[in-house]
Copies of this chain bind each other. A is one copy, B any other.
Amino acid sequence: MSLDQPSAKPHDRLVAALASEMEAVNVLIRDRMASEHAPRIPEVTAHLVEAGGKRLRPMLTLAAARMCGYEGPYHIHLAATVEFIHTATLLHDDVVDESRQRRGRPTANLLWDNKSSVLVGDYLFARAFQLMVETGSVRVLDILANASATIAEGEVLQLSAAQDLRTDESIYLKVVRGKTAALFSAATEVGGVIAGRPEDEIRALFDYGDALGIAFQIVDDLLDYQGDSNATGKNVGDDFRERKLTLPVIKAVAAADADARAFWSRTIEKGKQEDGDLDTALSLLNRHGALEATREDALGWSEKAKTALAHLPESDLRQMLIDLADYVVARVS
């Protein structure tokens, strides 16, 4: 993800603007991921938490709360909450996807075992839950409970939708909200809630996070078919080889004639891939304008994110979040 790279300018400006608070978040994370009784827990968690993720989600919470004038202590708790939920889902995802690498390091399920990943994920989710209870805000708990349900439902939906050519853009959007956008939108929304802002501003913060998350994921799916593998760290065609029905392919299937449909059915649904199929896929994606249409969608969601922030008072942090929405799609603009 480009947002995790040092060259990410808006991200770096946010890091600088929120440095002391992010340090407080890191201290809280290290404190709460400990376990007196089960040393396996901090081992597994440290492996992932310390592995150099750029803490994008907790930064969104900190930025939203500070932008809304929040002066209390609980944005730190909520930022740590959001990072714990994210880390818990990564641990479970790696079991589900049978992944072997994450953030350039072997996954926990490979280093330890699936059992540890499942149970330590559960532990982190419970710890997240404890952290958010400390805020004493039932509304915050409601938002994060709903986000958790959306995340889990999206993940299950992806299991059944992933290789089914009937998957359409509305199902894709539900999966993407589950995978990415639900936690982004909860991360920004709770910042406005604990700051006690008016409903229209809270809604705007939700909309920003939602649209940013969707843009982020669409760009990721698009770069899988047209990215520079040196810049993205991914190989072109990984999603195709893993038979993932992402937005470019969904658009191509919708526009496909009988021959093209048979191709997608064979390669994605049945998984019978041969040499040269990736080239054929790329050619079909271009012929039907699927990549271009996907790019337009990403830009549209980035615009929605920026428009949402117009409901909030001007500030340096607001500008950084607007720039972040531009940055997310910069590589495909």
- Chain A interface (Cβ < 8 Å from any Cβ of B): 35, 37-41, 89, 92, 95-96, 114-116, 118-120, 122-123, 125-127, 129-130, 133, 136, 138, 141-142, 144-146, 148-149, 151-153, 155-157, 159-160, 171, 174
Contacts and interface: CB of A to CB of B under 8 A. Distances in A.
A149 B126 contact: yes
A127 B38 CA distance: 27
Contacts of A159: 38, 40, 115-116, 119
A111 B196 CA distance: 48
A290 to B, nearest CB: 24
7 contacts: A38-B156, A95-B115, A116-B159, A129-B145, A130-B145, A133-B142, A141-B141
Closest 3 CB pairs of A and B: A123-B152, A126-B148, A126-B149
Nearest to A115: B96
A57 B118 CA distance: 23
A244 to B, nearest CB: 14
B149 A127 contact: yes
A122 B93 CA distance: 11
A330 to B, nearest CB: 32
A86 B25 CA distance: 31
Contacts of A123: 149, 152-153, 155-156
Given A133-B141, A133-B142, A153 B118 contact: no
A84 to B, nearest CB: 11
Nearest to A141: B133
